[in-house]
Amino acid sequence: NVLIGDVVFAIGNPFGVGESITQGIVSALNKSGIGINDYENFIQTDASINPGNSGGALVDSRGALIGINTAILSRTGGNHGIGFAIPSDMAKKIAKELIEKGSIKRGFLGVGIQDVSEDLKESYGDNSGAVVISLEPQSPAAKAGLMVWDLITYVNNKKVSSATELKNLIGMLPPNEKVTIKFIRDKQERVTQITLAELKDSKSQNTQNTSKNGSSSVIDGLSVEELTPTLRQRYQIPDSINGVVITRISPNSKASEVGFKVGDIIAQVENITIRKPADLSNAFTRLKGKNKRILIYSSSGTKTIVIK
């Protein structure tokens, strides 16, 4: 129930001077990407937080605990009005599980996800959520029939506004929990129930089958070939990844402009699996005149490129 603009107080022992309290407001909610942890959902505040405040209470004007002071962004080591607190409900849940079980076991859905980018907005209208861009084999999501480019919008009637929010929602649920997922496919809302698995330390990505030699250029400035052992070694492509590999990008071409890179793997165009260059050509022929979402595996992770 915390809102941006709410008055808050930070309690702690800054720089070891003794217990003290500072006042500010809630600057932002659901902050992530700070780089402190894999699961981040911070309350941001401008209440003065300094070294020594970590672990102290962030309370509202009623004196109710809303967060645990955790970190600051600072170039000098002192306060610049950008402090972060772990929400109290998250801290309470994790503390309880540590006390009772000695470790944290997180739910696992088995999807790679991204936010709805500007290029993808046309495909999903005004809806926000987490776009599925990959599925792990035999994962709960795969078994339930989720597909690449499904847009997950709700988990147990809680709205999902971003990929990070979905990650946090699932990660805070225990393994074997049954969840109701609402998602949009082909502009129609669908519902499915999924029983979560347990998140392991290491995960693998799913792709489909291998292919033979060949080349193709269906986009201006783009050349692709089928994956061979030699190309896998050259571009350091794991055996779990399949598709066609981009071997050349012409400077100042459309392919270069939209973000293709040499060594990227094109695995899917819309719902068409790409196993050889002919598949890529056929996909572009079938989808001529339409926007095309292209699933890419790269050295920096999975991404979507939209060709209009």
In this structure, whether the domain defined by 107-198 belongs to CATH 3.80.30.20 is answered with no
Whether the per-residue pLDDT at 35 is higher than 90: the answer is: no
Could you give the CA distance from residue 244 to residue 230 in angstroms, rounded to a whole number?
13
Which residues of the chain does CATH 2.40.10.10 include? Answer: 7-101
Tally Cβ neighbours within 10 Å of residue 112: 22
Backbone angles phi, psi at 273, to 5 degrees: -75, 135
In the CATH hierarchy, which top-level class contains the domain 215-307? mainly beta
63 confidence band (pLDDT: 50, 70, 90): very high
pLDDT per position as a tens digit, 246-301: 888 887 788 888 888 888 899 888 888 888 888 888 888 888 888 888 988 887 77
Residue 212 above 50 pLDDT?
A: no
Query: So what's the pLDDT on residue 211?
Result: 33
Assessment of whether the complete model's pTM goes beyond 0.75: no
Most confident of 103-112, 179-188, 208-217: 179-188
- Residue 8 to residue 48: CA distance in whole angstroms: 11
Give the HSE-up count for residue 20: Cα atoms under 13 Å, Cβ half-sphere.
15
Counting every residue, how long is the chain?
308
> Where are the CATH 2.30.42.10 domain residues in the chain?
107-198, 215-307
CATH no. of 7-101: 2.40.10.10
